[in-house]
Amino acid sequence: MVLLPKPALEQFSLIRNIKPTTFFSGIPLIDLSNPDSKHLLVKACEEFGFFKVVNHGVPLESILKLESEAVKFFSLPLSEKEKAAPPNPFGYGNKSIGQNGDVGWVEYLLLTANRESISQRLSSVFGDNPEKFRRALNDYISAVKKMACEILEMMADGLRIQNRNVLSKLLKDEQSDSVLRLNHYPPCPEIQALKDHDMIGFGEHTDPQIISVLRSNNTSGLQISLNDGSWVSVPPDLSSFFINVSDSLQVHI
Mean pLDDT in residue range 76-91: 86
Higher pLDDT, 1 or 167: 167
pLDDT score at 17: 52
Cα separation, 101 vs 142, whole angstroms: 33
Q: List, in sequence order, every residue forming a beta bridge with 29; answer none if it has no partner.
A: 52
Of the ranges 65-69, 162-166, 200-204, 215-219, which one carries the lowest mean pLDDT score? 200-204
Cα separation, 109 vs 78, whole angstroms: 13
- Residue 4's pLDDT band (boundaries 50, 70, 90)? very low
Query: Per-residue pLDDT for 7 more than 70?
Result: no
Cα separation, 200 vs 163, whole angstroms: 41
Higher pLDDT, 16 or 29: 29
Residue 174 has what DSSP assignment?
Answer: T
The helix/strand/coil state of 242 is strand
Q: What percent of the chain has pLDDT over 90?
A: 28
Tell me the pLDDT of the chain averaged across its residues: 80
Enumerate helices (H) and strands (E) in the chain, giving the number of each.
9, 11
**pTM of the full predicted structure?**
0.82
Name residue 79's amino acid: S
pLDDT score at 132: 85
Cα separation, 33 vs 35, whole angstroms: 6
pLDDT score at 6: 44
Mean pLDDT in residue range 97-126: 70
Secondary structure E strands in the chain: 14-16, 29-31, 50-54, 91-97, 102-112, 179-184, 197-199, 211-214, 223-225, 231-233, 241-245
Query: Per-residue pLDDT for 11 more than 90?
Result: no
Q: How many CA atoms lie within 13 A of 164 on its CB side?
A: 10
For residues 139 and 153, the answer to whether their CB atoms sit within 8 Å is: no
For residues 201 and 15, the answer to whether their CB atoms sit within 8 Å is: no
